[in-house]
Amino acid sequence: MNKRTQSVAAHPRTIDPTTLNDTPHTRLAELRQETPLVQLGPNQYLVLRAEHVVPLFIDPRTRQIEGPEFVALHQIPDGTLAQFLSDLFLFSNGTAHRAKRSLFARSFAHRVMRDARGQIRTVADEIVASLPRGKSFDFVEGMAARVPADMIAAILGLPRCDSRYFAALVYSVARAFSPIYPHEHHQEIENAAGELYDYVEQQLSLRMTAPEDDLLTALVTDWQAERGIRFESLVFQVVGLIIGGSDTTRASFAMLVALLLQRPGDWAALRSDPTLIAGAVNEGMRYDPSVGSVPRVTKAPIKFDGIDLPPGTVLRLSTMSAMRDPALYLDPDHFNIRRTDHPRLHMVFGLGPHRCIGDMLARIEMEESLSAVLDAAPGIELETLPRMLGFGGLRQITPMHVRIP
């Protein structure tokens, strides 16, 4: 392997971000070898190497991008989507972030999620049992989308029969979380954001008059007692949770199954030794992640390999690149379900105060779903390969046709 370039010129290389879309892993590897960061646009950089990505997550000279900054950066027109992104606790800092995150922290505690494993397995088993036999179908829609959508519905207390309806809206809105905003689809995304807002608002309002034994009722009851945030903001946080909880896991799980079905040896090994399942899930999320990068903004000047980055610079921390960095993983382009060099905290869920609130839920959903497929549909055949599109933010998966004999 060539020796890496240790420092870069005072002006880093600028690239057109769309050139990363076709073969992102190959392009990121070439760039990572050459330089620690590339410029994506005015005041915006992609950080490529694990040695920088990991510490920058928790560097006191960086902070999370604020919602209004995100909206301005992507030139998202005024409307429900812009209001949602501006208000979301993902895109906030300090006390505002802590106050909104704490609304959900207890319900997503790892212990609570571990206790829910049996329920998650029941949902996965029911879905696998309902899949068509002997004919081709899209595994992304038929299976991978349904477990996370049904589970987020169960956790919040949304009617399970609504999960397909809101999941379709979620996939549309999720496209707003990409490093390149798809302006050509803006109207569709805006409409979906409005519809999702109305749906959640209606569900929360219903609980005010007809309380139930669910998280939505708990949220609205606490809100009525304290009124620390506007009702509209409470609705936005729940919408954010539904988006975070559905799209990422759907894409990750479908890609995991596709990777395994292309490796019959791994599939057979998992069938005979279920203790390998957790490692396979970890490896799938590393090898082709559903979240490719997270944004951060510099609060103070940072000198980065010879480049002065002033405060206010947007950094896209490429977890996707860092998780294929040979400095972090041995033989990183090799998909290895027996890998022993995963760091204790998987980088795909981020690090620091914004670390994914649903990390344990996502992991258990994927483990139990994989186990359910291995048990009840071991002969499943892959007919068309899915692709994970995009190099950062929430990545999108294409359809994946399979057949269960």
- The residues binding ligand HEM (CB under 6 A) are 64, 89-90, 101, 152, 240-241, 244-245, 248-249, 252, 285, 290-291, 294, 348-350, 354, 356-358, 361-362
Q: Residue 315 CB, nearest distance to ligand HEM (Å)?
A: 11
C-alpha–C-alpha distance, residues 64 and 58, integer Å:
10
- Minimum CB distance to ligand HEM, residue 329 (Å): 17
Cβ nearer to ligand HEM, comparing 196 with 404: 196
How many angstroms separate the CA atoms of 172 and 179, rounded? Answer: 15
Nearer to ligand HEM, 357 or 380 (CB): 357
List all residues 6 or more positions away from 258 whose beta carbon is below 8 Å from its beta carbon: 139, 382, 385, 386, 400
Beta carbon of residue 298, minimum distance to ligand HEM (angstroms, whole number): 15
**Cβ-closest position to ligand HEM:** 358
In the complex, the smallest distance separating the C-beta of residue 19 from ligand HEM, rounded to whole angstroms, is 24
Cβ closest to ligand HEM, residue 35 vs residue 245: 245
Q: Which of 35/121 has CB closer to ligand HEM?
A: 121
> Encoding tokens for residue 218?
């708990």
Q: Alpha-carbon distance 248 to 25, whole Å?
A: 19
Task: Output 283 or 404, the one with its CB closest to ligand HEM.
Answer: 283
- Quick one: DSSP state of residue 291? B
Give CA–CA dist 148/171, Å, rounded.
13
Q: Are 276 and 337 in contact (CB under 8 A)?
A: yes
Report in angstroms how near the CB of residue 293 gets to ligand HEM at its nearest: 9
CB of residue 201 to ligand HEM, shortest distance in Å: 18
Residues 399 and 141: beta-carbon distance below 8 Å: yes
Task: Select 35 or 163, whichever has its Cβ closest to ligand HEM.
Answer: 163
Q: How far apart are CA 144 and CA 290, in angstroms?
A: 13
Tallying the residues shown for the chain, one arrives at 405
